[in-house]
Amino acid sequence: MVISLEVLNPGPLALVEDLGRPGFAHIGVGRSGAADRRSHRLANRLVANPEDLATLEITLGGFAARVRGGGVWLAVTGAGAQPAIDGIPFGLNAVHFIEEGQVLSVGSPASGLRNYLAVRGGFAVPPVLGSRSSDTLSGIGPPPLRAGDVLPVGRPSGDLPGVDHAPVSPVAAARADLRVIPGPRDDWFADPGALARTEWVVSERSDRVGVRLAGTPLQHRWPDRQLPSEGAGRGAIQVPPNGQPVILGPDHPVTGGYPVIGVLVDADTDTVAQLRPGQSVRLRWEQAGIAAAAQSGW
């Protein structure tokens, strides 16, 4: 008997994600994958899955699903939301067993944006180009979840869960401080130091393609000069002509023509996945050399 999860309510956006499909840039296909990889990996570890099995990425809660065909171990990680089984709350970042016929729900988070639901065995939807990740820009991979979708659970491998609870700091609602390594196109800006001096605010117009920051526009050194298309990466801070930075997310286009003033330290890209519209962000140059130059008015 195949165990499955029947989606009762997907909430604002629920997607199947794993660690993505690297290696297809040459045909214009981006890596995609879980926006908060740290939370995705933790959810899988808690249910003794390999890290690259598919989880459900649940944005702003509102999610409910019923287990069919048998019981399964599960875990919910990520944003400050309240998960429950048949209405009875249970803890984030801990493994629980849900019985056949019971309903799992994940409420709206008080802080953060995205939760990750892992089940032991993973979600065994058909992979596309080697991955089960939903790429919201290109449409490659499983479509966004809808009520009535039935997601098969894979056969578990490995030992029964050994860790039952992981001590994880809660996702913060306060200002986020993110570290940026300068370049490759910081020289395209009149005053790159302004990136670190500005208090940015996360815009509503943010999604898996990119997080848009609002604040005093950054000035391009040569406003009419076009940058030849070049490769881009997750965590890169691209600045279009309007001077409002965009932090590229997992579903960013493979190449782009706007200069990248700096790229977030890899570990901080998972923090970006939990930023809410209206949240404040400070960006900090990671190398001492640039920070000193900015202070001296370069």
Partner 1 sequence: MTQPSIRDYGDRGLMIECGSTTEVLALADALRSARLPMVEDIVAGARTVLVHLGAPGLQASVRSALADIHPNDSHSIEQSEVVIDVVYDGTDLAEVGAAVGMDVEGIVQAHTGTRWRVGFGGFTPGFAYLIGGDERLVVPRRSEPRTRVPAGAVALAGEFSGIYPRESPGGWQLIGRTAATLWDIGRSPPALLTPGMWVKFRAVDPW
Element (H, E) at 8: strand 4-9
Q: How many CA atoms lie within 13 A of 27 on its CB side?
A: 7
CA–CA gap between residue 37 and residue 18 (Å, rounded): 9
Q: Are 115 and 61 in contact (CB under 8 A)?
A: yes
For residue 115, what are the CA distances in angstroms to 62, 81, 163, 270? 11, 8, 19, 12
CA–CA gap between residue 36 and residue 49 (Å, rounded): 17
CA–CA gap between residue 146 and residue 148 (Å, rounded): 6
Binding site for partner 1 (CB under 8 A): 22-29, 31, 128-129, 138, 140, 181, 183-184, 228-233, 235-236, 253-255, 260, 262-267, 286
Q: Which is nearer to partner 1, 117 or 186 (CB)?
A: 186
CB of 114 vs partner 1, minimal distance in Å: 21
Q: Are 73 and 96 in contact (CB under 8 A)?
A: yes
Q: Which is nearer to partner 1, 42 or 140 (CB)?
A: 140
CB of 184 vs partner 1, minimal distance in Å: 4
CA–CA gap between residue 159 and residue 47 (Å, rounded): 9
CB of 27 vs partner 1, minimal distance in Å: 4
Q: Which is nearer to partner 1, 74 or 195 (CB)?
A: 195
Q: Which is nearer to partner 1, 34 or 263 (CB)?
A: 263
Q: Which is nearer to partner 1, 63 or 188 (CB)?
A: 188
CB of 102 vs partner 1, minimal distance in Å: 36
